[in-house]
Amino acid sequence: MESFILGTGGMMPLPNRNLTSMLLRREGELFLFDCGEATQVSLRQLNLKWKKISVILISHTHADHITGLPGILMLTAQVERDEPLIIIGPPKVKEYIETSRKVLDMYINYPIEIRELEDPGKPQEVYRGDGYSIRSFPLRHSKVCVGYAFEEDVRPGVFFPEKAVEAGVPRGPLWGKLQNGVKVDLEDGSSITPEQVMGEARPGRKVCYVTDTTWRDSIPGEVTGSDLLVCEAMFAEDLADSAKEKKHLTARQAGQLAAKAGDIRRMGLIHYSPRYTNRELKILRDECREHFPGAFLCRDRMVIPLPHREEDED
Ligand SMILES: [Zn+2]
Ligand SMILES: [Zn+2]
């Protein structure tokens, strides 16, 4: 699984900074989080197969997070695709897409399924796929806005063939049963449980996407345990008043949020105000690191590998 940062800017795209968007790739499936103007340019630069996008998740209907959608929908019509494209987001997402389709006379040759969140103020599962689920949880912004948590299911522990042999389970279909968590009965009348021949269950990976928001006490609890937390850090601390008024996070607050959440393996900052040059962003990083030392700056087209915890060397 990898995360691709398609853009890192807030408000408006800059010549060297696209608007905030992230793409997650897992076992050949793609998940797109937000889609501002020119998101498709980064997709092309990273040579990603946009045809494989299963779900698009929209945080809120501010222009910098949604105006790239019509382009992505048209781009997708240029390739053969039978599976529906699922778009999830807060109210008005449907109206925005349907109006754009109508006014632009969009040619769409595949099914689009729009799922608006009826109650975005409530944390909820918004999508379930093979081996993973996606949750939304409320943020606090000047428009209804949600964060997303992509979570893999718990995986069964490692199977130890030598233990199975020792316990008298012959190689064959019974091994498969044990691996699937089913107890097996042997011919001698004894039974063997999966726990006897397998290691402990292993947690799946979790990736959280949090933007745009001001501080909200419920956010740390939602993002705890993330293998990757991508979190807004729009302003430095000298503009804390402005951040509060516009309902955005400062980099320091982002660090506090991650510190409070705990068990965060990687944290990348995103959604930078256009007032900062790319060199000045280290101010944001350093302010965040006062609270969460491992934080890094997301950069446009950065690729972040997300190995399972047991595979991670560092
Ligand atoms: Zn924004
Ligand atoms: Zn916004």
Q: How far is the CA of 37 from the centre of ligand 1 (A)?
A: 12
Question: What's the mean per-residue pLDDT of the chain?
Answer: 95
Distance of CA 100 to the CA centre of its chain: 26
User: What is the per-residue pLDDT for 181?
Assistant: 86
User: What is the per-residue pLDDT for 82?
Assistant: 87
> Model confidence over 222-233: pLDDT tens digits?
999 999 999 999
What length is written for the chain? 314
Token look-up 């990273």 returns 46
Mean pLDDT of 288-295: 98
Nearest ligand for residue 12 CA: 1
Residues 6+ apart with CB under 8 A from 242: 235
- Count CA atoms closer than 13 A to 32's CA, side-chain side: 30
Mean pLDDT of 157-184: 92
Residue 152 above 60 pLDDT?
Answer: yes
User: Model pTM?
Assistant: 0.92
Q: How far is the CA of 291 from the centre of ligand 1 (A)?
A: 23
Task: Return the minimum-mean-pLDDT range out of 60-64, 74-78, 269-273.
Answer: 74-78
Residue 119: is the preceding peptide bond cis (ω within 30°)? Answer: no
User: What is the per-residue pLDDT for 65?
Assistant: 98
Nearest ligand for residue 272 CA: 1
Residues 6+ apart with CB under 8 A from 252: 237, 240, 287, 288, 290, 291
Per DSSP, the three-state class of 151 is strand
CA distance 46 to 214: 31
Residue 312 above 80 pLDDT?
Answer: no
Mean pLDDT of 85-89: 97
CA proximity to 57, closest of 28, 89, 20 = 89
Q: How far is the CA of 232 from the centre of ligand 1 (A)?
A: 9
Nearest ligand for residue 90 CA: 2
Q: Is 105 noted as a catalytic residue in this protein?
A: no
* pLDDT-derived band at 257, boundaries 50, 70, 90: very high
Q: How far is the CA of 19 from the centre of ligand 1 (A)?
A: 8
User: What is the per-residue pLDDT for 156?
Assistant: 85
Mean pLDDT of 170-174: 92
User: Is residue 20 within 8 Å of residue 209, measured between CB atoms?
Assistant: no
User: What is the per-residue pLDDT for 313?
Assistant: 54
> Model confidence over 8-65: pLDDT tens digits?
999 999 999 999 999 999 999 999 999 999 999 999 999 998 888 999 999 999 999 9
> Model confidence over 194-230: pLDDT tens digits?
999 999 988 999 999 999 999 999 999 999 999 999 9
User: Is residue 3 within 8 Å of residue 30, measured between CB atoms?
Assistant: no
CA proximity to 219, closest of 133, 285, 136, 125 = 136
pLDDT above 90 covers what percent of the chain?
89
Token look-up 């049963």 returns 177
Catalytic residue among 64, 212, 227, 300: 64
